[in-house]
């Protein structure tokens, strides 16, 4: 058995007139993520972690932000494609540990729904997806509510022989 780990990070500016998508669900808020896709920071961090663990570069390589066919795309589609990409190399997901950094709104009550959506998209058990949320105590771009950031650590497994 071959075990590999990966780490992902993503950040998006927040602005009025955009929807805030995190973990595959729309989060009610006056500001949303500004991005080429739907701007789901958590999903993008998970995609980067999975691709990195399989030594397959990053989300921008596979889904470039200058590709007009990806404009406004639902990030759940990118996540499903990412899972398929690592599966072509023989990998399955062991577990995911992630953190969303967002000053407002508070999202702790939405985490179970995010876990359910992500588990469904990736075809894994909900117990294999940890999502945590934190603020930055009003420091930096997250603290001033100008942006959102997410971190993800993953473990992938390949059965050999």
Please state the residue numbers annotated as binding site: 10-12, 36-37, 44, 58-60, 63-67, 134-137, 141
List the binding residues for a divalent metal cation: 10, 12, 44
CB of 41 within 8 A of CB of 9?
no
Residue position matching structure tokens 């999202």: 107
d(CA 8, CA 75): 15
Taking the CB of residue 109, how many other CB atoms lie within 10 A of it? 9
């Amino acid at each position: 058995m071959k075990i590999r780990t990966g780490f992902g990070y993503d950040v998006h500016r927040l602005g009025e007139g955009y929807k805030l998508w995190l973990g595959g669900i729309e989060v009610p808020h006056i500001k949303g993520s500004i991005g080429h896709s739907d701007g789901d920071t958590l999903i993008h961090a998970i995609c980067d972690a999975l691709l990195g663990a399989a030594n397959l570069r990053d989300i921008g390589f596979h889904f470039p932000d200058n590709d007009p066919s990806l404009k406004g795309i639902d990030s759940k589609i990118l996540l499903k494609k990412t899972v398929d990409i690592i599966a072509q190399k023989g990998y399955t997901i062991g577990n995911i540990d992630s953190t969303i950094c967002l000053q407002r709104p508070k999202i702790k009550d939405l985490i179970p729904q995010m876990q359910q959506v992500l588990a469904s998209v990736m075809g894994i058990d909900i117990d294999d997806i940890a999502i945590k949320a934190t603020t930055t105590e009003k420091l930096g771009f997250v603290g001033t509510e100008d942006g959102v950031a997410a971190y993800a650590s993953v473990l992938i497994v390949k059965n050999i022989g």
